[in-house]
Structure 1
């Protein structure tokens, strides 16, 4: 007997009792702490050397860089300053423990940063390992943590900082250590490069105050563009047994590499279910390779019948892995596997991460649950379906209307209106932007990278070719950029510049009936759509932090917004349901953010479905209960005992 059916008796009873372990997300999901940065600044005796240009000492260059950072950093950023080598003379007792937290981590305190750095006098040794260990304790939150180490030489004290950086990374801390070498020799560069590699960061050289300022600003901006996970805590289960019930909202869980999570979702009769999943990859995952793909499926928890299944695409580079699923009445939603799922009041949701390799331990998983009421009238009369074969032209470039700084995640993406914006990304960065899209409208996006003169700083930064990617996501973060001539999502940018663009299908309720193209099926309701822009990290470049690659982002809404369908209330739909979860009409819920990923063809979906275990199963008799409700459950289970040839959730033997 399969594990699924071995546990179905207990599960059925729990479903009939409306499952006491229900979790309901708050209207505004709890958000993990914002990214934090600690600048670790070398103030050892060698920083008094006057070789930083224009008669400046190395310490003068460092002071200028930190002052400029304090001036340009947004008010909402959280930053601290730690120094070493400025409190005790070289080789004096205590010189190898000489490190001080000058400015505690918190909202940027410009006066404190400039005052503290101005007071520094270089004098001591270089206890880098000790300073890194101390910096790891300076953070106050639970979000992404970054250290930027600025040093002009090798360590002169134990412990060895390279093993220290590796130790911190191995502890599972969401920590990144970037290193800037100021006028270093080859031996020092090797040590500092080792620290960056071990700390999931990047190393860059600086030879004067200007280069140090640019490198520090670039590294700081990278740290504040980290992905901040968001959601109400929940713990999915590796099998269907004991799966928690989740209602509409956004949840935060973890998922093991090549693991599977299960959840139960109450679904009132006639409603559709929109689910999105986002797996945030561990620090250093952006160094190369793909992260596998997601298979998401829904089941009838009483029979084991699979209802809907969708496969998400791979994530290459620094982007999260995302997937989405649409579950609804079989006469409305394309891609269903079993019409017998119609009317199921509680569905079992399965999130299955098929990893292409090992990427460490558990990874954060954002789970987004949205429900949508039934509509009045026949589906064909609600909205016209989009033409899957129509080609949508690219936007024409226009003069920028302003600047914008994209965020590092979906939840905090800046909300744009139609127009052209200037931004900049460093190699290895992904940036997010949001825009509201209404019924009948299309989202058109274009990203343009400028030309650069031969031998210029930008030309050197780009190298021979730099890979860039553009993706568009619906309100549950499903990739909805059409294939073919309506989208150019990848570009190799060089000194000649380059452009990426995409135009979605018009938002139409009837799009959900599409059976072949998931990117059209998921443009089936309005709300907050997302643009994701990525500049891939080079595999060999050692100066990726040396500058920002400018980009112009143009967004527009094509077509007039229409009224959309007429939603029915839950009470208007016949057929009782055990669900107690209130419904959320899609037209009134653009706030809960969503997912994305490249959709796959039906053949791939069927192959994935075939790969799932299937077999015969029968329920063991249930002992006679003492409550009327348990008797009802018993009757249902006994009737189900004769059902055979049932498929079961992936990964259950």
Structure 2
């Protein structure tokens, strides 16, 4: 089951048909945009695209009834408006473990400023291992947010080091807050394990690193369509990328960042042509998550109809020793792999400036040469999640995305006839359908 690093591919015949119908009249790039716009307006979109094949699981009110989580497997569950639900996971005495929970409020729901999701991890005797919360922010715009629980094997952490059963608890942060509606939320859960290293290594975080923020990357923007969930995140390499985002929508991207490399990202919203007036605080929220879907940092971009931009805070190079840092932001930059950029445009933007889409530009810089990482004893689960391969780099450079983008790439080969394109599209659809059946 794919967890987002190398997204599973699905082709929609409806999108292929749209592209085929427009290819004869316009260029490949214009055809792709036309298909995307048609797909956006044809149906009311879900706020989140769950991983294909995610297992349904029910959270328990009592730990006695908690269902098991298997590392490397994606689950779909739900969270009631009040109270906590629990799940269990069996861990050995040497691996670090991470459980990320993505909460998805139902369409049309309302949330308070501090509302969100809380994830905590405890051992079988009730000792706390970790706790993390994620909230919706000042814009009060409901959208997918993720928090994670951690079980870490470290000399500095005497608790939660034994092999045995551990419990994951999930709950709302402010279910009774002003403006929060009592709707149940959908959940996507994924557990990952990181093996121990062959050598003890550093026991403190690097004290010196380049904390100066470079100038945002310049150059002509290339269009790259965002995914709608972690599992379908669109790969991005270093570069300037443009996408269109509508109020209330959330788009997902992933950037491979290797050991020793630093990630710098600036987000921009283009000016509105609607003639509207008003101001939305944190209209565009850009959040960064690490390969275990743990929150790293975020930045808000206020919007008044004129072009606006803001950058993620300076982050250290990826280093195994960052986990010993006193701050969560630095501690989250603890392993190589695909780092996720999650962009959300607040619903209130539509009240002043229309439904969009609004032009969003992401300026992504990956600086520094890749270095050798720690020598792990054993494999992570899922395998390869904490590394960057040549295939990952190539995929990010080419922009092979999930879903509709694959269909668009089938016909974006200018100069082929409609009949040939149809045969190619149907051939790819057949191959992928067969592959899906054997995954």
Instruction: Provide the TM-score with structure 1 as the length reference.
Output: 0.50
What's the CA shift for 1:420?
Answer: 0.5
Distance 1:243 1:561, change over 3 A: same
Distance 1:504 1:309, change over 3 A: same
Alpha-carbon distance in 1 for matches of 2:350, 2:238: 38
Which of 35, 41, 50 is equivalent to 1:229? 50
Q: Greater RCO between the two (CA within 8 Å, min separation 6)?
A: 2
Residue aligning to 2:421: none
Q: Secondary structure at the match of 1:380?
A: coil
What's the CA shift for 1:585?
Answer: 6.5
What's the CA shift for 1:582?
Answer: 7.3
Size of the alignment, in residue pairs?
364
Which structure has the greater CA radius of gyration?
Answer: 1
Residue ranges of structure 1 left out of the alignment (5+ in a row)? 1-26, 35-74, 79-105, 115-212, 482-486, 571-580, 592-653
Distance 1:77 1:416, change over 3 A: same
What's the CA shift for 1:240?
Answer: 0.6
Residue aligning to 1:534: 344
- The answer to whether the Cα contact below 8 Å between 1:371 and 1:586 also exists between their aligned partners in 2 is no
Residue aligning to 1:350: 169
Query: Which structure 2 residues correspond to residues 255-294 of structure 1 after superposition, within 5 A?
Result: 255-285=79-109, 289-290=112-113, 292-294=115-117
Superposed CA offset, 1:373-426 (max 9, x none)? 011222317xx7244896330442412241111122222111011111121222
What's the CA shift for 1:352?
Answer: 2.5
Query: Which structure 2 residues correspond to residues 20-59 of structure 1 after superposition, within 5 A?
Result: 27-28=1-2
Answering whether residue 133 of structure 2 is matched by residue 311 of structure 1, we say: yes
What's the CA shift for 1:544?
Answer: 2.4
Alpha-carbon distance in 1 for matches of 2:160, 2:304: 52
Answering whether residue 310 of structure 2 is matched by residue 500 of structure 1, we say: yes
What's the CA shift for 1:311?
Answer: 3.2
Distance 1:442 1:461, change over 3 A: farther
Alpha-carbon distance in 2 for matches of 1:351, 1:304: 15
Residue aligning to 1:564: 373
Residue aligning to 1:124: none
What's the CA shift for 1:525?
Answer: 0.8
Which of 263, 275, 281 is equivalent to 1:460? 275
Alpha-carbon distance in 1 for matches of 2:375, 2:222: 38
- The answer to whether the Cα contact below 8 Å between 2:211 and 2:315 also exists between their aligned partners in 1 is no
Alpha-carbon distance in 2 for matches of 1:404, 1:506: 26
Query: Which structure 2 residues correspond to residues 591-606 of structure 1 after superposition, within 5 A?
Result: none
Instruction: Provide the TM-score with structure 2 as the length reference.
Output: 0.72
Query: Which structure 2 residues correspond to residues 289-304 of structure 1 after superposition, within 5 A?
Result: 289-290=112-113, 292-301=115-124, 303-304=125-126
What's the CA shift for 1:584?
Answer: 4.9
Residue aligning to 1:244: 67
Residue aligning to 2:358: 549
Answering whether residue 245 of structure 2 is matched by residue 425 of structure 1, we say: yes
Alpha-carbon distance in 1 for matches of 2:253, 2:16: 24
- The answer to whether the Cα contact below 8 Å between 2:277 and 2:353 also exists between their aligned partners in 1 is no
Superposed CA offset, 1:25-44 (max 9, x none)? xx3379xxx9xxxxxxxxxx
Superposed CA offset, 1:21-66 (max 9, x none)? xxxxxx3379xxx9xxxxxxxxxxxxxxxxxxxxxxxxxxxxxxxx
Alpha-carbon distance in 2 for matches of 1:520, 1:555: 19
- The answer to whether the Cα contact below 8 Å between 1:259 and 1:354 also exists between their aligned partners in 2 is no
Task: Decide which structure has greater strand share.
Answer: 2
* RMSD after superposition: 3.6
Query: Which structure 2 residues correspond to residues 352-371 of structure 1 after superposition, within 5 A?
Result: 352-357=171-176, 358-371=180-193
- The answer to whether the Cα contact below 8 Å between 1:225 and 1:431 also exists between their aligned partners in 2 is no
- The answer to whether the Cα contact below 8 Å between 2:105 and 2:184 also exists between their aligned partners in 1 is no
Distance 1:469 1:112, change over 3 A: closer
Query: Which structure 2 residues correspond to residues 577-592 of structure 1 after superposition, within 5 A?
Result: 584=383, 586-587=385-386
Distance 1:442 1:111, change over 3 A: closer
Alpha-carbon distance in 1 for matches of 2:172, 2:208: 29
Alpha-carbon distance in 1 for matches of 2:352, 2:213: 38
Task: Decide which structure has greater helix share.
Answer: 1
What's the CA shift for 1:524?
Answer: 0.7
- The answer to whether the Cα contact below 8 Å between 2:229 and 2:252 also exists between their aligned partners in 1 is yes
